Each structure stands twice: as structure tokens, then as C-alpha cells.
A and B are shown apart, each in its own frame.
Chain A
Amino acid sequence: MSAFRQPSVLPGFGLTLGFATFFLSAIVLLPLAALVLKTASMSWADFVAVVSSPRALASYRLSFGASLVAALINTVFGFIVAWTLVRYEFPGRKVLDAMIDMPFALPTAVSGIALTAVFAQNGWIGQYLEPWGIKVAYTWLGVTLALTLIGLPFVVRSVQPSLLEVQRDLEDAAETLGATPIYIFRRIIFPTVLPALASGFTLAFARAVGEYGSVIFIAGNLPMKTEITPLLIVIKLEEFDYNGAAALGFVMLAMSFLMLLSINLVQAWGRRHIVAARR
């Protein structure tokens, strides 16, 4: 028996793993390799010129800046929402709980036009913000808002199970020992939830950086101002500048890998952290 896999009495290992690997290679890995190869065929100077052009730099600032802000908003409000859903009983809780997944299921184009309609100057909410001089649609605020919407479920769904997991007997023990609610939160609940919060933050951030559909409707798409990096790639493609698109795509792909890595690290850290906390 090869050391590659531990023996098992169940059949079908070769067949299923073979098909899964083949399909994965054909649909995901080969195309991604094409992007890397395309970029590799460019000269270094060309590559640098494309990825560090002022317009590209401005788009990175917006994409990453707005994503960061959105992920932070989601971390705060996501925790509040998760806490409310787990700890309080109120009418409509179950419906609300189910609705958290809406951004997963709702097409991004739909959330894009819907958010624009609500936050435009004459929209339901936009009209009340207008007198205060707050413009949401067609500004970086709108971009942030769209990215907040799509990142929300990541934080809530990460935090919920860990809030359920906070050992009630620990809280009870702390209470019988005379701890105040704030102290219990700071010393018992928060440390347990922290890894999940960090993981939710990273997931929301990663998702926001690549988002396209919901942003382009509300962003206004002014070069240098409200143009996100994915949009810049689309513009390059429409100009048949494949090299430029590939170069920018490569930068984003590299960022994705970095974030995937950090998500794994954060989750590994979380597992260790929880194990350590339980000892």
C-alpha cells in the first residue's frame, strides 16, 4: 500500500479524486496559469509601467481603502448583529437570521442598482443625507457602502458559532465570582470571539477587494476618483489591451493569494488560540 493515502475499506478513492483533480485543473488551475504566463511574457518595464501608472495606483487606493473601511464597519456591526441574533429573543429574529445570507444569494448587479436607487440624491435614504452635504452615490462612500453589504455575512457567520461556543459555564463561574458584565465580556467573551472576528474581517476584506458588480453602479466610475481596480481591468480589455489587463489581473491575483494565505494563517492561529484558551 502506498504511503500516499491511508488504507480504507470504502471504494471510489481513485475515481473521485481523479475526477475532482482533473476538473479543478481544467476549470481553475489551467486558466489561472494562463494569466500568470501572459504576464510573464511581458517585459519588466512594460509591467511596471502598467501596474504603477497613476490611474492604477488611484484604483488600488480606492479598492483597498474602501474594502478596509467596509471590513472594519462589518466587524463592528457584524459583531453587534451576531450578538443580537445569538443572545436575544425578539420577534422576527429567525427571519432576520435567514436574511443575513441575502448578499450571498443576491446577484451583485441587483444589489448594485438597488443600493444606487436607495442612496441616490432622490433615493429613500439619500434624500435625507443630501441636506447634510453627505453624498453617497457616485462617491467613495457609495463604494464603501456596496462593499459593506457584500461583506456582512462573512463576519456574522464567522462570529455566530463562536458566540454560541463561549462556554456558558465560564460566564456563570465568572458571575458567581463577582465579575461585572463588562469585565466578563472583556476577559471571557471577547478573547473567545476574537479569532472568529479576525477571520470574518479577513474574509470580508478579501471578498470586497475583488468585488465588481455591486460597485460599478454606485461608484460613478470617474477615472482617478471612483474607479476600482477590477473596473480598470475591464476597461483595458474593452480597449483590447490584453497585456495591461493581464498585468493588473496578476497584481490582483497575487493579492488574492496573499489574502488566502493570511486567512489560513488567521484561522490556524484561531484554532491554536482556542485550544490554548481551553487548556
Chain B
Amino acid sequence: MVGIAATGAAEIARRPGRGTLRSALVRWVFIALSLGFLAAVLLAPLAAVFATALGQGIGAYLDSFKDPDTGSAIRLTLLTAVIVVPLNTIFGISAAWAIAKFEFRGKTFLITLIDLPFAVSPIISGLVYVLLFGAQGWFGIWLQEHNIDVIFALPGIVLATLFVTFPYVARELIPLMEQLGNDEEEAAITLGASGLMTFVRVTLPKIRWGLIYGVILCNARAMGEFGAVSVVSGHIRGLTTTMPLHIEILYNEYAFVGAFAVASLLTLLAVVTLIVKSVIEWQASRTTGH
């Protein structure tokens, strides 16, 4: 889509009377303003992450990963993502199938509810679980009696992360599946395919790029969630600190190289996510011809 727009823009730029000084000036002012703004709020901070992380040499950078607490933070983050991402993916596919393929009452309301975690502060996402499962919470006493840890333990972190990353896959798939329509599925059914086979052989390949993007975005958010996890984790060093929480601890201890080294990993994850997204968009435009 953007590609088409660009050719359109180029075409307009070549029109008679467009080579004037004024339109060139407007063009450069716009580009300069955009670049300047993005450089200040986006590029500089990104560069700062790597500059600070590598500020005392590659050796110090690598050494900071030898810290056992850093290692356990990375492991905890991965574990959380491994639990959360599949659950939200299954949810996303289910919700998208129900919403995009069928007409039913209350559909719009359901979509609004799915969007709810987007609108809620991450702090509140953590807080609600503390109120449910914390020591003074609704199930607190029962959990204590049965010796189950939710808050200040892995289950709490998983729940808070589930909440925060809840809509990502669904939001990616719903518009995509609505746009793709039901024709191919109906064709498969008339050709004798079962429901499951229709989904696996027809729907899944159609939506695979959108699904992959939804999953990696969900993954990036799951690994990087700070506010909600911070509320439920209890910050027990080496036990319940995920990577973002570990960054905070190191930063507050003025261990800048360590903090930015861990941050650089998450930044790389974000960069990879965006690259995958670009590749997927390119792929999608190639296979559908839009």
C-alpha cells in the first residue's frame, strides 16, 4: 500500500509546475522535521542503549551476562513467554474465528472487551491480581492454607503478562480474517473437507503471516512487560525478577553497563520483531498482489 502511495507521490512530483522552489522547500522542511523529531525521541534513545552498554568495552558488556541473577532473569522471562504466548495465541485464533466467521448478537461488545487490556494501565493489570490472590486478597487465605504461591511468584507473573498481552493475536487476526472472507472456507466445505481440515489446510495458510506477526508482537510485549509484572513480582532478586525488572534493579544500583546490557537484549528483540514485521508485510504484499 505504501509502495503504491510512493509511486503516486513521485508521479505527482513530476507534474508540470511542480519543480518550483516553494514545493521543494515544503518537501524538505517536512522531511527535516520528521527526521529531527524521530531522531530525538526514537533514534537517540536506541543508540544510547547500545552506546552505554558497550561504553566500557565489549568485555565489560559480556561480563555483565555472567551475573547469575541476570541469567535467572533471562530464564524467567523466557519461561513466562513460553507459557503466555501459546495461551494467548489459542485465544486469539478462537476469538478471531468466532468473530470474523460468524454474525451474532453482542459481537461489537465482545470486541470492545477484548480491547480492554489495551486501555487499562499496566499497573492496574497487576493490581487486580494482587487484590485477587494477594495476602489480603479474595483467595489469599485459601491459597495460604494450601501453600500455593501466586503473587510474588511465577503464577502471578504469568497471569499479569497474560492480561497485558491478551489482545495482541486476536487484534491482528480479526480484521485480517474479516477481510479475507469466507469464500475459500465454503469452497473447501463443498469439496468435502471437515471443519478441522478446512481450518488447517485453508484458513491457517491464509492467515499465517498475520498470525506470525501477532505472535511475535505478543512475545515482544510478554518479554518486555514492566509495570504489571513489577506489581505482582515482589522483586525477589534471582527468583521473581524478569529482564525488565532486573534492568530496574541494576539501574537503581547505578550498575549502568549491566542495566543497559540487559536492555540491549530486549532492544534487539524489538528490532528483530520489527524486521520480521517488515518481511511479513513484504511477503503478504507479494503473495496477495496488493
Contact = CB atoms under 8 A, between A and B. Distances in A.
Interface of A: 3-6, 8-13, 15-17, 19-21, 23-24, 27-32, 34-35, 37-38, 77, 80-81, 83-90, 93-94, 96-111, 113-115, 117-118, 123-125, 145, 148-149, 152, 160-161, 163-164, 168, 181, 206-207, 209-213, 217, 230, 233-234, 237, 240, 242, 245-246, 249, 252-253, 256-257, 259-260, 263-264
A8 B101 contact: yes
B41 interface: yes
A245 B134 CA distance: 13
Majority SS at the chain B contact face = helix
A122 to B, nearest CB: 12
Given A10-B198, A16-B97, A31-B129, A256 B120 contact: yes
Interface stretch (B29-37, B57-65, B141-149, B204-212): B29-37
Nearest to B139: A34
Given A99-B274, A111-B45, A87 B9 contact: yes
12 contacts: A10-B102, A10-B189, A23-B94, A28-B117, A30-B132, A80-B37, A83-B30, A107-B220, A109-B224, A114-B263, A230-B124, A242-B130
Contacts of B247: 109-110, 113
Contacts of B186: 9-10
Given A4-B105, A109-B247, A124 B127 contact: no
Interface centre among A13, A21, A181, A210 (most CB of B within 10 A): A210
B270 interface: yes
Given A110-B224, A234-B231, A86 B5 contact: yes
B277 interface: yes
Nearest to B278: A98
A48 to B, nearest CB: 20
Contact of B132 (A31, A89, A106): A31
A249 B124 contact: yes
Given A86-B5, A209-B121, A230-B123, 19 more contacts: A5-B103, A10-B195, A17-B104, A23-B91, A24-B114, A80-B30, A99-B38, A99-B42, A99-B274, A104-B217, A110-B267, A113-B251, A114-B45, A149-B45, A152-B41, A230-B124, A230-B227, A242-B131, A260-B115
B230 A234 contact: yes
A23 B224 CA distance: 22
Contacts, number: 311
Nearest to A263: B119
A31 B195 contact: no
A181 to B, nearest CB: 8
A182 B83 CA distance: 54
A89 B10 contact: yes
Interface of B: 1-2, 4-6, 8-10, 13, 23, 27, 30-31, 33-35, 37-38, 40-46, 48-49, 52, 87, 90-91, 93-95, 97-99, 101-105, 110, 112-124, 127-132, 134, 136-138, 159, 162-163, 166, 170, 182, 185-186, 189, 194-195, 198-199, 217, 220-221, 223-227, 230-231, 243-245, 247-248, 251, 259-260, 263, 266-267, 269-271, 273-275, 277-278
